[in-house]
Amino acid sequence: MRTNLAPTVSSAYDRLQAYHRLGVFKMTRIGIDPGHGGSDPGAVAADGLQEKDVTLAVGLDLRQRLQGAGLEVIMSRTVDQDVSLASRAELFNREQVDVVVSLHVNSADNTTANYVSTFILAPGGQAEKIARSIQPELVAATGWPDGGVREANFFILRETDAPAVLVEMGFISNPATASLLATPGTRQALALAIFKGLAAYLGLQVNAPGDIQGHWAEEAIRQVLAAGIMAGYPDGTFRPDQPATRAELAAALARLLAKIPGNPPIKN
């Protein structure tokens, strides 16, 4: 008796997640940690803006972007609630995420201070590669000074098993910056910048090629792009009707095989 294991779901992301649950292949898991929450507001601006609200808004936006790219997202919180640092680290370790991004906003006594920075525990590992992929995107998106990639012994960086970075998204103590952090546009720009940095690190194609719109295989193409099984060309096209070479087919199959649990990753 033949059994169809493919579940009936509506979106490309839902299909990818369903196949992941069935053990067909492993989706990349990203841990997103919106800092503070609940009774812990984090840093507070002179006008009352609270860090916890900024980090949650950016985190939820970032989650949507990552899921749209075919990644699984584990959030330490999705609402305004208390979550201990230990609980956050335990969650990410239990869920075996591949990357952790902790979101924060800086504060200083000097109200003119303002820059964006990305923290890691120590140099030389995957966390530094992630940080150096995210940091320039943050600078480009905000136009704020580059605070660089820095080292710190933060709990979330130290206690998570996966490579972890902590992003400081400007200074809430700077009135001009605080007014921007309160706007949806700035929050979206921050989420997009972090998403672009993660996408570059993971080798994901951020935007779907323009030449697939309306094509009969558009949905299928979007799925294999989101899953990282196939990629477009450097000029931004996919060329859906161009025949694939045996080498291109082998590369796509190798990427698919690498997603099956227990198989080694492919070497570029």
Q: Which of 110, 112, 88 is nearest to 100 (CA)?
A: 88
Q: Which of 268, 192, 168, 175 is nearest to 228 (CA)?
A: 268
Active site annotation includes 95: no
Tokens 């193409």 sit on residue: 221
CA distance 72 to 244: 29
Residue 174's region, left for phi above 0, alpha for psi from -120 to 50, else beta, is: beta
Tokens 């997640």 sit on residue: 17
Set 137, 168, 219, 248: catalytic member: 168
Q: Are 43 and 172 in contact (CB under 8 A)?
A: yes
> Strand (E) positions, the chain?
29-34, 72-75, 99-106, 116-120, 146-151, 164-171
Which amino acid does the sequence have at 15? R
- Other C-beta atoms lying within 10 Å of the C-beta of residue 55: 27
Q: Are 173 and 179 in contact (CB under 8 A)?
A: no
Q: Are 25 and 256 in contact (CB under 8 A)?
A: yes
Catalytic site positions: 168
